[in-house]
Structure 1
Amino acid sequence: MNRSLALKLGAIALLILLLLIPLLMISGMIDDRQQLRDGVLEDIARSSSYSQQLSGPVMVVPYRKVVRTWKHNEKTNARYQETSLERGRLYFLPERFELDAKVQTELRARGIYEARLFHADNRISGHFSIPQQLGIDEDFADYTFDSPYLAVGISDIRGIENALQLELDGQRLDFVPGTQEEWLGEGVHVTLAPLDVRKANELSFAFDLRLQGTGQLQVTPVGRASNVTVSANWPHPSFIGNYLPAQRAISAEGFTANWQTSFFSTNLEEALSNCVARGSCDEFKSRSFGVSFIDPVDQYLKSERAIKYALLFIVLTFAGFFLFEVLKSLAVHPVQYALVGVALAFFYLLLLSLSEHIGFALAYLLSASACVLLIGFYVCHVLRSAVHGLSFSAGLAALYGLLYGLLSAEDYALLMGSLLLFGLLGVFMVLTRRLDWYGLSHSKSTKPVKLDVEGMGHE
Structure 2
Amino acid sequence: MNRSLLFKLGAIALLILLLLIPLLMINGIIADRQFTRDNVLEDIARSSSHSQRLTGPVMVVPYRKTVREWKLNEKLNERYEEISEVRGRLYFLPEHFALDGQVQTELRARGIYQARLFHADNRISGRFVLPEQLGLKDNFADYRFESAFLAVGISDIRGIENVLKLELGSQRLEFSPGTQVGWLGEGVHVALPELDSKKPATLDFAFDLRLQGTEQLQVVPVGKTSQVSLASNWPHPSFVGNFLPSQRNVTDKGFSADWQTTFFSTNLEEIMRGCVWDQVCDNFNNRSFGVNFIDPVDQYLKSDRAIKYALLFIALTFAGFFLFEVLKNLAVHPVQYALVGFALAFFYLLLLSLSEHIGFAMAYLISASACVLLIGFYVCHVLRSVAHGLGFSAGLAALYGLLYGLLSAEDYALLMGSLLLFGLLGTVMVLTRKLDWYGVGKRKAVEPLQFDLEAVQ
1:46 counterpart = 2:46: yes
The whole-number CA distance in structure 1 between the counterparts of 2:196 and 2:34 is: 59
List per-residue Cα deviations over 1:206-265 (Å, max 9, x = no partner).
Answer: 111111111111111111121222222222222221222222233333222222222122
Q: Deviations over 1:267-309 (max 9, x none)?
A: 1101111222223412211111112212244011111111100
- TM-score (norm: length of structure 2): 0.94
State the AA in 1 paired with 2:446.
K
Q: Which residue of 1 aligns with 2:216?
A: 216
Match of 2:137 in 1: 137
CA distance in 2, matches of 1:262, 1:246: 13
Distance 2:79 2:287 in 1: 50
- Conserved? CA contact 2:182–2:279, under 8 Å: no
Q: Is the 8 A contact 1:333 1:450 kept in 2?
A: no
**Structure 2 CA distance, aligned partners of 1:62 and 1:7?**
86
Greater Cα shift, 288-297 or 382-391: 288-297
| Mapped partners of 2:450, 2:79: distance in 1 | 112
Aligned to 1:175: 175
Rounded to whole Å, the distance in 1 between the matches of 2:106 and 2:303 is 25
1:410 alignment partner in structure 2: 410
Where does 1:86-125 land on structure 2 (aligned, <5 Å)? 86-125=86-125
Amino acid at match of 1:106: E
Distance 2:180 2:243 in 1: 29
The yes-or-no answer on 1:377 pairing with 2:377 is yes
Q: Which runs of 5 or more residues in structure 1 are unaligned?
A: 455-459
1:33 counterpart residue number = 33
Aligned residue number for residue 326 of structure 2? 326
Percent identical residues: 75
**Letter paired with 2:433:** R
Distance 2:412 2:251 in 1: 23
Q: In structure 1, how many angstroms separate the alpha carbons of the residues matched to 2:164 and 2:305? A: 46
Is residue 64–residue 143 contact of structure 1 (8 Å, CA) maintained in 2?
yes
| Structure 1 contact 332–448 (Cα < 8 Å) conserved | no
- What is the CA-CA distance between 1:34 and the residue it aligns to? 0.9
Tell me, yes or no, if structure 1 residue 447 matches structure 2 residue 442.
no
DSSP-derived class of the 1:80 partner: strand
Is the CA contact (8 Å cut-off) linking 1:297 and 1:360 kept in structure 2?
Answer: no
- Taking structure 1 as reference, are residues 346 and 423 closer, same or farther at Cα in structure 2, changes over 3 Å only? same
Aligned residue number for residue 14 of structure 1: 14
Amino acid of the residue matched to residue 156 of structure 1?
D
CA contact (8 A) 1:368 1:397 kept: yes
| Equivalent position SS for 2:412 | helix
Aligned to 1:367: 367
Partner of 2:455: none
Q: Give the aligned partner of residue 457 of structure 1.
A: none
**Residues 256, 426 of structure 1: CA spacing in aligned structure 2 closer, same or farther, 3 A cutoff?**
closer
Q: CA deviation at 1:353?
A: 1.1
CA distance in 1, matches of 2:212, 2:428: 58
Q: Secondary structure at the match of 1:256?
A: strand
Closer, same or farther: CA 333–297 of 1 in aligned 2, 3 Å: same
**1:202 and 1:253 mapped to 2: Cα distance?**
41
Q: Deviations over 1:299-333 (max 9, x none)?
A: 11111111100000111111111111122221111
Q: How does 1:43-442 map to 2 (within 5 A)?
A: 43-442=43-442
Separation of aligned partners in 2, 1:450 and 1:143: 104
How large is the RMSD of aligned CA atoms in angstroms? 1.9
Between 268-277 and 422-431, report the one with greater CA deviation: 422-431
Any conservation in 2 of the 1:333–1:448 contact (CA below 8 Å)?
no
Q: Residues 99 and 228 of structure 1 are in contact (CA less than 8 Å); yes or no, is this contact kept in structure 2?
A: yes
CA distance in structure 1 between the partners assigned to 2:438 and 2:251 by the alignment: 62
Say whether the 8 Å CA contact 2:354–2:363 is kept in structure 1. yes
339-348 vs 288-297, greater mean Cα deviation: 288-297
441 and 173 in structure 1: CA distance in 2 versus 1, 3 angstrom threshold:
same
Match of 1:64, SS?
A: strand
TM-score by length of 1: 0.94
Distance in 2, Cα, partners of 1:330 & 1:210? 70
C-alpha distance in 1 between matches for 2:244 and 2:232? 17
Does structure 1 retain, via aligned residues, the 8 Å contact 2:133–2:199? yes
The amino acid of 2:423's aligned partner reads G
Asked if structure 1 preserves the Cα contact closer than 8 Å seen for 2:102 and 2:121, the reply is yes
SS of residue in 1 equivalent to 2:137:
coil
Structure 2 residues without counterparts, runs of 5 or longer: 453-457
Cα deviation per residue 1:379-436 (whole Å; 9 max; x = unaligned)? 0000101111111111111111111121222322222222222222232233333333
Distance, in Å, in 1 between the alignment partners of 2:159 and 2:58 is 20
How many equivalent residue pairs? 451
- In structure 1, give the amino acid aligned to 2:395: G
